[in-house]
A and B are shown apart, each in its own frame.
Chain A
Amino acid sequence: MTMLETVDGTEVREGVDRETIETVQAMAGKYKYGWETDIEMDYAPKGLNEDIVRLISQKNGEPEWLLDWRLAAYRRWVKLEEPRWAMLTYPEIDYQDQFYYATPKSMAKKPKSLDEVDPKLLATYAKLGIPLKEQMLLAGVEGEAEPRQVAVDAVFDSVSVGTTFKAELAKAGVIFCSISEAVREHPELVKQYLGSVVPPSDNFFATLNSAVFSDGSFVYIPKGTRCPMELSTYFRINAENTGQFERTLIICDEGAYVSYLEGCTAPKRDTNQLHAAVVEIVILKDAEVKYSTVQNWYPGDENGVGGIYNFVTKRADCRGDRAKVMWTQVETGSAITWKYPSCILRGDDSQGEFYSIAIANNAQQADTGTKMIHLGKRTKSRIVSKGISAGRAQNTYRGLVSMHPKAKDSRNYTQCDSLLIGDKCGAHTVPYIEVRNNSSRVEHEATTSKVDDDQLFYCRSRGMDEEEAVALVVNGFCKEVLQALPMEFAMEAQSLVAISLEGSVG
């Protein structure tokens, strides 16, 4: 009754999706993005002081007000202490032993178009599967009924190397460029909104970022515009001992809509590298933003050597009535993840959603979650968090739901599920729930369990090996979050789930 076919010599039983097997095979080989690009770089001197801040500002050709803004942040940062409340243990970070600015030499003269960009850089992104050349993208999707176009802003260490589909976006009035370019071309927008969601005084890492951010993406969607394609930023850390401090600012004007994707990778190295980003999203009346992240920074090896320290502040401010934001994140990389994408639900009837998958394997540690601050009336939020721990990893959900006295008739639903694979790892839940009015309803549920033996047995009996079976069960566990991702990301995320758990069983 079973028909056997083979994929590269592997017998595959009927009922097992051939594509799944191929994907898993293609992905074999642990961290796929661990190579580095050999390219000449310009570095600012190691360490951090006011001169470095000035240098970064000067390299970006920034106006005086921005330099002052950076310097104020730097002066504040010097007096701050690194937060240690998260359930993360890592050696002290030497902030003076980092490069705060690194750029490929070829980028010294700003290329006017993608054609002038160093082919090595383009090749890097092509290898990562991010075609920067628009025509390549179009050619690559030949045969599909309706090719989906995605505009990409690619950030390589400290600088943005290119943004695709700019002309097409401009037709719709959408501004999508690097933040350094936005400072030059649209200073009024940047000045109005930069730091208005995450002020430089927000927290240690946001303050650091405010002082030294080198590049990042800027998006403005004008009133009533539905962004014609998905926008995407791809962050790549390449240089050694270099911190990446990008800053993203998204402004979605009244009645506008945008879906934004973010991806991250870095080469394998024995030393830990620092990444401290800030993402600010401003959403006006009736506007909607979807922000999806697949974070796959280098997680370090099985023994916890190397990997990215990822300290990120992300926040969306629903300023207008009926504004809507949806954060979706798949966190599989980084040695340390410290990240709490938040929603400030200021406008009446505004909505915030947070869908998260956090996978920690080997010696990875993740402390991640969200904050839902309900200020407006009838605001709604929903949190679905799936944490998976394997190896010796520690995975913490940390979240805040706050209902202010004026947020009448608001609603929150939170679901945090943890899955443990093996008895050396940990899964933790630290929710803060603050309800200051009685017409709002808040519900929080959390469960912790292990991979179900019956489900595993069933998968094994259908011919899967143990790792595949675990990957399938885990993908099922994550289903609600995977469904919230845009199509392409969902596929990538599914295979990432499988890869991230490699070596976690047996």
Chain B
Amino acid sequence: MALPKAKEDALAARLAALTLPAGKGWLAALRSEALARLTAMGLPARRDEYWRYTDPTSLNVPEAPVAVRFEPGDEAEPFDGMDRLKIVFVDGVFDAAASDDLTLSGVTIERLSQTGGKDIHWAQGLYGQLETRGQTPVARPLAALNSAFATDGVLIHVTGRAAKPVSLIYVHQSDTSDAILHHCVKLEAGASLTLLENGPAAARFSNVLEVDIAEGAQFHHIRLQGRDHQRRAVTHLFARLGARSEMRSFTLTANGRLTRNEAVVELTGDEGRAHLAGATVGDGDFHHDDTVFVTHAAVACESRQVFKKVLMNGAVGVFQGKILVKPGAQKTDGYQISQSLLLDEDSQFLAKPELEIYADDVKCSHGSTSGAIDETALFYLQSRGIPRRRAQALLVLAFLAEAIQEIADEDIAEDIRGRLERWLARHGSNG
């Protein structure tokens, strides 16, 4: 089917500003396939069903809109003091000096830009493949664009228990940087890895993470999308889970002008477990969109989606979530909750929590709520001598608690609670 004129023009303009990285290896063919997918889909538009609440224009335009780098002040770097293997990208460019040596027991780590030229590589079976699966039934053109044009990324092959977490750090320096990174993680049967991601990355950041989790493997993912006020980001997490495997992914977003986090998770082996959670705090010119698709394609799997947003001064929060239970995926346990706390009159919450179920012996539920802070609770806390602002912060933290509980590592959870508390103290609404 031909694309509408507006979509064709937008795509042509964007493509004119991009060049397919040169090379002849395994990656070249996958890049051209991705480009073909993108050309067939066109760029997202407001009229597309899954973009009705988020305007994709600033993600589509050829030049990244200017975003002045934000100085985080005295706040310590996330995961500071943790024993981890650091890999640093500055405006999407690998920083060898700041990064650790890429050797780690139980894990092989390579860079996309260095292996793409080889004739053959394990990542061939993964790069762009989960993304392709994730394109139906809903097109995700920005992910295809990423697969075609990613400049770098890491390819992580986990064969055993990773000795320590792998930490991807994205530094933003230039006001006009436009970074496109693509990572692949393959966990062999019984392997385990914790992947940390943090930092604002660039003025505009496109990030794709494809994760293949084999039988009995464990993948933990914790992401902190920095406090950079003007940055824009679109991220895609594609995951495929084998039998009895486990995935936990948590994302904290504080500020940023536009964030679109898509997660596409497919449970393909029996008794798999996928937990996705997000805590978001936004103040002012802030638009945050979580678009989550969980597919149950096997028996007795469990999935949880827990997304909480605290919004103030006109901030906008979006949640689009789906639990799809395929025919035969009996004994499914699916749960989804999306909640927002609107701290003042101007903020907005737009949600589309969906269930699509083709099996009868399932337990699926979802809930979605939106409202202001509970005045009675606030009054109670004040009556116990807690100042209003502090009382409000306590209630906000309590509201976010369910999402933070999804973090397995208690130290990280504690650190995140501390960060949120300080953020609230800085942004405390007068309400």
Residues of A whose CB lies within 8 Å of any CB of B are 85, 87, 405, 418, 420-450
Contact = CB atoms under 8 A, between A and B. Distances in A.
B327 interface: yes
Interface string B145-168: 000000000000000000000000
B74 interface: no
A428 B349 contact: no
B350 A434 contact: yes
Contacts of B342: 435, 437-438
Interface residues of chain B: helix, strand, loop or mixed (majority): strand
Interface in B265-319: none
B327 A423 contact: yes
A433 B364 contact: no
B119 interface: no
B7 interface: no
Contacts of A87: 356
10 contacts: A405-B345, A425-B360, A428-B354, A429-B366, A433-B351, A435-B349, A436-B348, A448-B362, A449-B364, A450-B362
Given A433-B370, A446-B365, A420 B356 contact: no
A499 B357 CA distance: 24
Contacts of B343: 438
A106 B353 CA distance: 53
Given A405-B345, A443-B369, A433 B350 contact: yes
Interface of B: 49, 327-328, 330, 340, 342-372
A447 B362 contact: no
A421 B354 CA distance: 20
B364 A426 contact: no
B369 A442 contact: yes
B368 A422 contact: no
Contacts of B367: 443-446
Pick the most buried of B344, B351, B355, B371: most chain A CB atoms within 10 A of its CB: B355
A450 B360 contact: yes
Contacts of A447: 364-365
Contacts of A435: 340, 342, 348-350, 370
A433 B368 contact: yes
A377 to B, nearest CB: 13
Given A423-B327, A431-B368, 17 more contacts: A85-B49, A420-B359, A425-B358, A426-B356, A426-B357, A429-B356, A433-B349, A434-B350, A437-B342, A438-B342, A438-B347, A442-B371, A444-B351, A444-B368, A445-B366, A446-B355, A446-B367
Contacts of A445: 365-367
A423 B369 contact: no
B138 to A, nearest CB: 13
Contact of B364 (A423, A434, A448): A448
A426 B365 CA distance: 15
A423 B328 contact: yes
Contacts of A429: 353-356, 366
Contacts of B49: 85
B354 A430 contact: yes
Contacts of A426: 356-358
Q: List 4 A-B pairs, minimum CB-CB distance, nearest first.
A: A438-B342, A420-B360, A441-B371, A429-B355
A41 B360 CA distance: 46
A457 to B, nearest CB: 16
Pick the most buried of A405, A434, A438, A443: most chain B CB atoms within 10 A of its CB: A438
A76 B340 CA distance: 41
Given A422-B360, A444-B367, A446-B365, A437 B345 contact: yes
Contact of B357 (A421, A424, A437, A448): A448
A448 B345 contact: no
A448 B365 contact: yes
Nearest to B355: A429
A431 B366 CA distance: 11
A433 B368 CA distance: 8
Nearest to A450: B360
A429 to B, nearest CB: 4
A430 B50 CA distance: 12
Given A435-B349, A449-B362, A450-B360, A427 B340 contact: no
A449 B363 contact: yes
A57 to B, nearest CB: 35
Pick the most buried of B343, B344, B362, B363: most chain A CB atoms within 10 A of its CB: B362
Contacts of B344: 438
A275 B362 CA distance: 35
A427 B328 CA distance: 14
Nearest to B352: A432
Given A435-B370, A438-B343, A439-B372, A423 B359 contact: yes
A288 B130 CA distance: 54
A87 B356 CA distance: 10
A412 B364 CA distance: 22
A87 B362 CA distance: 21
A341 B363 CA distance: 29
Given A428-B354, A435-B370, A442-B370, A423 B349 contact: no
Contacts of A448: 355, 357, 362-365
